Structure 1
Amino acid sequence: MLTTNEKELIKKISNGNTVAFSDLVDGHKDLVYTLCIRMLGNREDAEEVSQDVFIKVFTALRTFKGDSKLSTWIYRIAYNACLDRLKKSKKERMRVEVDHLKSAAFSVMDNALDRMVREERSVLINSCLAALPAEDASILTLFYFEEKNLLEMEKVLDLSANTIKVRLFRARKKLAAIMENKFDKETVGSNG
């Protein structure tokens, strides 16, 4: 299932080419970090686990059989690393911090308004995802944000497609309930 480029990249890395490994990291770091932040809910932990993931990728790359996409294999390592961290820490998930915009001058008010709406939506989604159990947040992240199909998710999560469908359905219901509750509180709070 590996592409010719992926095979060549793995060969270069196995031969000690650090630039090739840097290319691999650059190609997957954002998606690994996104999965880690969604599962762990803490920026510092997500950064640390993301780094650990790529160390594991580097050391295990020679044993990678190529029976799945390289990205799927890397996400599987990231997913398992996050589960290990959650088990190890045994503490409540912290809410995802959302970066605040740096003060910037906008030439057109519409642009500023559009950006605020997108940011509010992002804050709302992140806070609602953070309220979910880690496994629910990760399955929604893989499906919607990483745009993984069921076959890829089977390999990452080591679950059957039917089980993933059921978990996706349940996670969506939980997320919808959390979002509905949050909207109700915001509506009541703004009127009172």
Structure 2
Amino acid sequence: MVIRIRLLFDEVKHLPLIETETELIKRASEGNPEAFEVLVQRYQKYVYNLALSVIGNRDEAFDAAQETFIRAWRSLKDFRGDARFSTWIYRIAYRVSLTAVARKRPLPIDDLPEPICEDASANPEEAAENDYRQALLRRAIMNLAPAYRTALILYHLEDLSYEEIASITGVPIGTVRTHLHRGRNYLKREIVRLSGGDENEM
């Protein structure tokens, strides 16, 4: 089966109308490609966004999303419903994305989601300073260990809860809290290192 991902495009046309996700999963696990394509349509953007948050590059995130659905199709017969389907496929996406990160260094930063910040004023000097801080923050984030980087991005940029992050990454909530705490500390140090400043000034 060729997995067709239509990320950021129009919805798939002429697919069977199946009301419940349980029925979709059942049919897909029995080898029905149309049912699985509906699942791909429902989750492709979420899987892609998760991969992008971890990897930081659009092309590689697209490849990771493609690989995620290929693995999901091959493993769907083993899905028992102990967890929600969304949790199951996000975990696959997370692991695929971490593998992609481990394969390539240095990591690109151009496509990392923009940090949320206040708008710069019309003053060109202030705008330039804001751009510098944004670039510095993005580079510092991408220099963190994947677990810390993912926790920070999902919590601060994607506005997910501890519980949601734990479900996606497959770790306890306490570990999510630890990753966030340590990630913030490491991020502060990395910003200082990159800027050549004094940590006490932050």
Q: Would you call these one fold, judging by a TM-score over 0.5?
A: yes
Higher-helix-fraction structure: 1
Unaligned runs of at least 5 residues, structure 2: 1-18, 113-126, 198-202
Q: Which amino acid in the other structure matches residue 150 of structure 2?
A: S
Higher relative contact order structure (alpha carbons within 8 Å, sequence separation ≥ 6): 1
CA distance in 1, matches of 2:30, 2:86: 20
**Which residue number corresponds to residue 78 of structure 1?**
93
**Which residue number corresponds to residue 56 of structure 2?**
41
Q: Which amino acid in the other structure matches residue 25 of structure 2?
A: I
Q: What's the CA shift string for 1:66-100, capped at 9, x where partnerless? A: 1222111111101111222333x2x423223249x
**RMSD of aligned C-alpha atoms?**
3.4
Unaligned runs of at least 5 residues, structure 1: 100-115, 186-192
Which of 11, 24, 34 aligns to 2:39? It is 24
Q: CA deviation at 1:40?
A: 2.2
SS at match of 2:80: coil
Are residue 157 (structure 1) and residue 169 (structure 2) matched? yes
Are residue 139 (structure 1) and residue 151 (structure 2) matched? yes
CA contact (8 A) 2:147 2:179 kept: no
Which of 158, 166, 172 aligns to 2:184? It is 172
Tell me the percent identity. Answer: 30
TM-score by length of 2: 0.63
CA distance in 1, matches of 2:43, 2:107: 24
Q: Which amino acid in the other structure matches residue 66 of structure 2?
A: Q
CA distance in 2, matches of 1:57, 1:183: 42
CA contact (8 A) 1:37 1:96 kept: no
TM-score by length of 1: 0.66
- Check 1:98–1:150 CA distance in 2 against 1; reply closer, same or farther (3 A cut): closer
**Which residue number corresponds to residue 112 of structure 1?**
none
